[in-house]
Amino acid sequence: MTSSHDTQTTTEAPWSETLRDGSRVLIRAIRPQDREAERAFIEGLSSQARYYRFLGGLCHPSEEFLSRLTVIDPVREAAFIALDAGEVNSSIIGVSRFSADSEGERCECAVTVSDHWQNRGLGTALMRHLINVAGSRGMRTMYSVDLAGNAAMNDLARHLGFSCRTDPDDPSQVVYELELQPVDRPQR
């Protein structure tokens, strides 16, 4: 892996976004302390949202799985959570993440938005930031494997410029792929 990047995700400051409907969200890198909030987020998703996100019926994440989701390898991974900026003790309302291959050239991504926060532009905001971070780390391709029936993911992926093809290993799935543009990083 060419190492012209640093570990920005662990030190990046939180930021706020205004969504299409005018609501404001706070977005920041996920931390190990978010473990229980991540559990509540997953368990609070509708069965369809969980099915689409995990390509099957995950209802209650294991402790090991929660660790994988909240303890991020700052070289190979990035993960961001969105919180309702209007609530003091807000719960997670959206998550985006990627994990790179061993060469740091390709990364698999995922985004999930709470059912009540869908169709407001949150998934787009989370994914755009994820794409920028991957590009700034020198990754060349971002991809996602999703169920073919996931119309919301299809719309989001196409909106963001991902190509789409049927998964050659499973015709019930599709592979979205985006060639990343290098992102110039500000000098520190």
Domains of the chain: 9-179 (3.40.630.30)
Using CA of residue 137, residue 37, residue 91, residue 149, what is the dihedral sign? positive
Structure tokens at 115: 């059912």
3-state secondary structure of 100: strand
Amino acid residing at 163? S
- pTM attached to this predicted model: 0.87
Note the helical H segments in the chain. 8-11, 35-44, 47-54, 63-70, 122-136, 151-159
By the 8 A CB rule, do 175 and 162 touch?
A: no
pLDDT tens for the chain, residues 1 to 188? 333 333 333 457 899 999 999 999 999 999 999 999 999 999 999 988 888 888 776 667 889 999 999 999 999 999 999 999 878 778 999 999 999 999 999 999 999 999 999 999 999 999 999 999 999 999 999 999 999 999 999 999 999 999 999 999 999 999 999 999 876 555 44
